[in-house]
Structure 1
């Protein structure tokens, strides 16, 4: 297999019909490291909307259990990517997401905005730092994938195309980004969590590098000082250099899923999808609003006690790097 063979495959597929196949190729074979970083940044952006940042701070999850909050969010979202919307595991993950969201008074506009970040952030990150830019088929498929996820979450007035997702995001941020003490606390806790993944002496460097990736609208909303221009240039230049280096590597032969990432630290012995996340009192009954029939090819093995070990076996490196296996 050559470096651009999967892109050729993607271009032979129909983004409306084959959106899950295309998104899996993009997220687990072409850009696993980049998509992980992009989705981290996508969720981070939402803290700058005061209604979202204030709510997240009020749950206490970021101050009390930030690693679990990170792990559970990443694993629930990735379960749907790996097993699909109609699998038992995918339905369970969506049910858990809905149960948690419906335990709080979250507006449809805020929910739609969060969905928009999942569509727009990956395109912007990959186009800036990936080994190639996303194709039109990939942008289309990502939009359809998250349009479908929004339907399963009961979100109303979900944008239909990538361009509509991007316009919705930009308009919402222009109107709603602003200072909130709770949002700043969640932002600080997230930066501290990311720094904790590395040896302690490197923590200030990791935090500084993370800040260098934030745009001015985020920095202003959280009232952070502007990074030095040289720091920004160095960090962003290093990421672009990484992308050019990855382009020279052989293509990845096996998919790499989020559960295989070293940043997922809370489940060394595996996990059960139905037990991920939080269980606010009295709110266990929320389900996916879309009726499902059981698929004949249902993959119900996601999240069982051996999920972590299975992931390590399928990716010996287990590091989320783009090195060929």
Structure 2
């Protein structure tokens, strides 16, 4: 038994062509079918970046997580929203990706690291939904998510990207096998991110939030971030609770309105010009430098 209409979006997704209708499929998947799961999976995905010492060193040096953590969190989500809400090749998306390229242009980031970070943004949500979602992802969804991810990367100027989900998974696993290592910077960033999560979460969740966040990490990630091992019974309880939530959601009615991130930083709304590191805003909003702009 399940709620009436619970699988209506899935039937709609299965009727679409993921090679053509990828924007529509991703909107249904991320904003109607699995909005909470998508956010959680993306959050854990971003923490994987800290396990790569060169990425952790750069992020730690900028002090954005320490000094402007909630803005950094909001801006990351909002740039992703700007790039996908109207479609990955819409004028709105291209403007957002141009801005992201200008931000990244301030740093010397190797192509393989940009590709790895991109891979985390697809593997994280897919892994989370596979483990805790109320239904499995459909093959149409995997193809559509991959198409949007690859186009996002192309607009960032990243070369030779995978064209399948398995390709991104292989890229991520191989990069982590070669580079995952603990550094003091990785722990500082992880703890700062947990504090950010606490700031944007309801007060009743605060006491256990850090331990729950660690409990949903796989062992290589937890080790790379230098976070304390949680008791086995606690890890089982957290993961079992998340799986139970997924099963119960099968009986919930489908979401009627698309999920939208409500940024703490911009209670009255935001403009694209607001997004980016605080110290960089004046430069970002100055004359556009076409060099390095791929969108």
TM-score normalized by structure 1? 0.84
Matches within 5 A, 1:1-325: 2-198=5-201, 202-258=205-261, 260=262, 264-278=263-277, 279=280, 285=289, 288-290=293-295
Describe the shift of the 1:203–1:10 C-alpha distance in structure 2 as closer, same or farther (beyond 3 A). same
Counterpart secondary structure, 1:268: coil
Describe the shift of the 1:108–1:231 C-alpha distance in structure 2 as closer, same or farther (beyond 3 A). same
* Alpha-carbon distance in 2 for matches of 1:237, 1:105: 42
Describe the shift of the 1:58–1:234 C-alpha distance in structure 2 as closer, same or farther (beyond 3 A). same
Gaps of 5+ in 2: none
The Cα of 1:90 is off from its aligned counterpart by 1.6
The Cα of 1:120 is off from its aligned counterpart by 1.0
Counterpart secondary structure, 2:85: helix
- After TM superposition, what 4+ stretches of structure 1 lie above 6 angstroms from structure 2? none
Q: Relative to structure 2, which stretch is displaced further, 271-280 or 281-290?
A: 281-290
* Alpha-carbon distance in 1 for matches of 2:18, 2:63: 39
Whether the 8 Å CA contact 2:111–2:158 is kept in 1: the answer is yes
TM-score normalized by structure 2? 0.92
* Alpha-carbon distance in 1 for matches of 2:148, 2:91: 18
Q: Relative to structure 2, which stretch is displaced further, 240-249 or 63-72?
A: 240-249
The Cα of 1:70 is off from its aligned counterpart by 0.2
Deviations, residues 44-67 of structure 1 (Å, cap 9, x unaligned): 111111111110011110110100
Number of aligned residues: 286
Whether the 8 Å CA contact 1:120–1:165 is kept in 2: the answer is yes
The Cα of 1:93 is off from its aligned counterpart by 1.2
Deviations, residues 86-116 of structure 1 (Å, cap 9, x unaligned): 3332222111111111110101000000111
The Cα of 1:201 is off from its aligned counterpart by 7.3
The Cα of 1:156 is off from its aligned counterpart by 1.1
Whether the 8 Å CA contact 1:195–1:204 is kept in 2: the answer is no
* Alpha-carbon distance in 2 for matches of 1:141, 1:170: 21
Whether the 8 Å CA contact 2:181–2:224 is kept in 1: the answer is yes
* Alpha-carbon distance in 2 for matches of 1:199, 1:249: 22
Gaps of 5+ in 1: 291-325
